[in-house]
Amino acid sequence: MIYLTAGILAGLGMAFEPNWLPFLLAPHAHLNLVGFVSLVIFGVAYHILPRFRGRPLWSDSLALWQFRLANVGLVGLVVVWIAKGFYSGKMLDHILGTFGLVLTVSFILFVVNIWKTLEE
């Protein structure tokens, strides 16, 4: 609910102050879609899909690491995007890319864990 609230507040910020649009648009979208929607999907999939198959989740520890990496990647992206509204430079682009990679790895770990859980 924290990510959803933060995403809504970012949207309100853009609505009331259009000059904030360039550096709040990506955080707004990612807080809502990754932070709320994707994390809800992860949680529901981790809870329900193993029960449909009648077996446990392939790896609880992988699920925990996936959840942690998704949060680190998302928070990092949001912080750097907002910082880019105030500062410029290639260093922030590299940091942004690193957090994007962390988030991507978390999604891959999710797919692997669910795939292995559903595998015959």
pLDDT given for residue 89 in this prediction: 85
pLDDT given for residue 106 in this prediction: 99
| Three-state DSSP state, 56 | coil
Map tokens 């809504």 to a residue. 8
Q: What value does the mean pLDDT of the chain take?
A: 95
> CA-to-CA distance for 107 and 67, rounded, in angstroms?
9
Indicate if the pLDDT at residue 120 is higher than 80.
no
- Reported as a single tens digit per residue, the pLDDT across 37-61 is 999 999 999 999 999 999 999 999 9
> CA-to-CA distance for 58 and 103, rounded, in angstroms?
21
- Reported as a single tens digit per residue, the pLDDT across 69-113 is 999 999 999 999 999 988 888 999 999 999 999 999 999 999 999
